[in-house]
């Protein structure tokens, strides 16, 4: 009979080996899928979910005025406590045309008018693609959970498995190698390997018996402790002959890199459920400049940048402000919104041009001239006041 060098159950399985089994190749594949899903979710699905959560609590309402439209967006403004707010809501063609250029009811989370929408419309555009993107991380989480649960069984087998002796059952060459053993319930069970039986292996294995671990409540789940069947185990391990402790055979460096990916994904999942997610993740991804947001006609992004302390009169490498870009690109609604946020209509770029000099749209030109006339009148009145005082 072969010497029993394994400690009796329950055995000590090193924490390092437990982690390696839990996060072996199958689990890592699931984590890669989850990471991919989280990245897509961040760029596409985060905004609709954040919008839904923002308006799921107690809401306040006020009167506002709708303005122009851009595709499925309806722009609006409202005044509250002496401050002017501007934003847009998403809706279908019928909703937009029914409410365009009319007084509308604005709703916002209690005490937070910076996040608002027209009642009956959406803050963010929830498309079919967005709903699919939201499902991907959920599938990834389910895939990870199933993979981890499957890896708990090998750990329990190493820790609580009973010992038995197995012998070769296969007789025909080129068949997969199969062993058999008898459990405590006096029933015979088989152990199958992916390795094919050759003549040399047959001669080598036929006269020997091999230690086998099997799970007491389910002997069909088993593991034979020899080089052939251990190939199918998730992680290579060794057994300390003195202590009977089961430990990993992987080198520290290899094992470390095997745990880096799980650690990274777990960290990102934790970040994704903290508040605010966008502020935490901004350290990992470069922030879009306000000039790019203007070119993309993304008012919500402009609103976010300014709310985080962005400068409405920030300059790019050519000395242009967001208002220069909006005027030049015929973004009339963005022009209205930037000026409402305090954009300077008189600022000059590196070529000495003000936003009016770059404007081509007649409505933008008239609007900017009107604003410049108001500024000129204010300056004229200030000068007259100073002269009168003298």
The CATH number linked to 379 is 1.25.40.20
Residue 276: is it exposed, middle or buried by C-beta count within 10 angstroms (0-12/13-18/19+)? exposed
Compare 68 and 302 and report the one with higher pLDDT: 302
Residues 310 and 377 in one domain: yes
Whole-number pLDDT of residue 321? 92
Residues 311 and 370 in one domain: yes
Give residue 220's domain range: 161-234
pTM listed for this prediction: 0.50
Residues 297 and 354 in one domain: yes
Residues 167 and 114 in one domain: no
Contact between 119 and 148 under an 8 Å Cβ cutoff? The reply is: no
Compare 233 and 223 and report the one with higher pLDDT: 223
Residue 62 in domain: yes
Whole-number pLDDT of residue 261? 58
Residues 377 and 314 in one domain: yes
Domain boundary (99, 122, 145) is at: 122
Whole-number pLDDT of residue 266? 63
Residue 151 in domain: no
Q: Number of structural domains, the chain?
A: 3
**pLDDT tens for each residue of 343-379:** 888 899 988 999 999 999 998 998 888 888 765 555 5
Q: Which two tokens stand for residue 10?
A: 């329950």
Rounded CA-CA distance 201/207 in Å is: 11
Residue 345 in domain: yes
Our separate counts of H helices and E strands in the chain read 14, 12
Q: Measured on CA atoms in the order 355, 356, 362, 366, is the torsion positive or negative?
A: positive
| CATH number of the domain that residue 194 is part of | 2.40.50
Query: Residue 243: pLDDT above 80?
Result: no
Buried residues in 284-294 as b, exposed as e (16+ CB within 10 A): eeeeeebbbbb
Split at pLDDT 50, 70, 90, the class of 45 is low
Whole-number pLDDT of residue 325? 92
């Amino acid at each position: 009979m072969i010497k029993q060098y394994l400690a009796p159950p329950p055995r000590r399985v090193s924490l390092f080996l437990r982690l390696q089994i839990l996060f072996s190749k199958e689990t890592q594949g699931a984590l890669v899928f989850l990471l991919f899903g989280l990245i897509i979710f961040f760029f596409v699905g985060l905004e609709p979910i954040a919008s839904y959560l923002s308006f799921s609590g107690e809401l306040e309402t006020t009167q506002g005025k709708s303005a122009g439209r851009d595709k499925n967006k309806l722009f609006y403004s409202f005044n509250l406590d002496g401050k002017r707010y501007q934003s847009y809501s998403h809706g279908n063609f019928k909703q937009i045309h029914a409410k365009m250029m009319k007084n509308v009811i604005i709703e916002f989370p209690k005490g937070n008018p910076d996040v608002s929408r027209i009642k009956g419309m959406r803050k963010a555009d929830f498309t079919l693609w967005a709903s699919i993107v939201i499902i991907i991380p959920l599938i990834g989480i389910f895939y990870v959970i199933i993979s981890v649960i499957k890896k708990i069984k090998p750990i329990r087998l190493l820790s609580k498995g009973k010992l038995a002796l197995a012998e070769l059952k296969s007789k025909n060459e080129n068949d997969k190698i199969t062993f058999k053993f008898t459990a405590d319930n006096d029933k015979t069970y088989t152990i199958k390997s992916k390795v094919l039986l050759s003549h040399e292996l047959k001669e080598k294995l036929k006269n020997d018996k091999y230690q086998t671990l099997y799970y007491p409540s389910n002997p069909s789940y088993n593991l034979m402790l020899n080089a052939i069947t251990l190939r199918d185990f998730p992680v290579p391990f060794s057994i300390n002959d003195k202590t009977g402790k089961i430990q990993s055979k992987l080198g520290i460096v290899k094992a470390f890199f095997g745990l880096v990916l799980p650690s990274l994904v777990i960290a990102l999942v934790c970040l994704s459920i903290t508040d605010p997610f966008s502020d935490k993740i901004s350290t990992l991804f470069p922030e879009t400049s306000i000039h790019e947001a203007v070119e993309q006609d993304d008012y919500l992004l402009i609103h976010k940048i300014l709310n985080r302390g962005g400068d409405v009169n920030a300059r790019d490498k050519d000395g242009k402000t967001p208002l220069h870009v909006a005027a030049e690109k015929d973004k009339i609604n963005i022009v209205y919104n930037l000026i409402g946020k305090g954009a300077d209509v008189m600022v000059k770029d590196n070529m000495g041009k003000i936003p009016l000099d770059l404007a081509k749209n007649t409505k933008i030109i008239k609007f900017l001239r009107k604003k410049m006339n108001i500024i000129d009148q204010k300056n004229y009145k200030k000068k007259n006041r100073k002269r009168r005082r003298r």
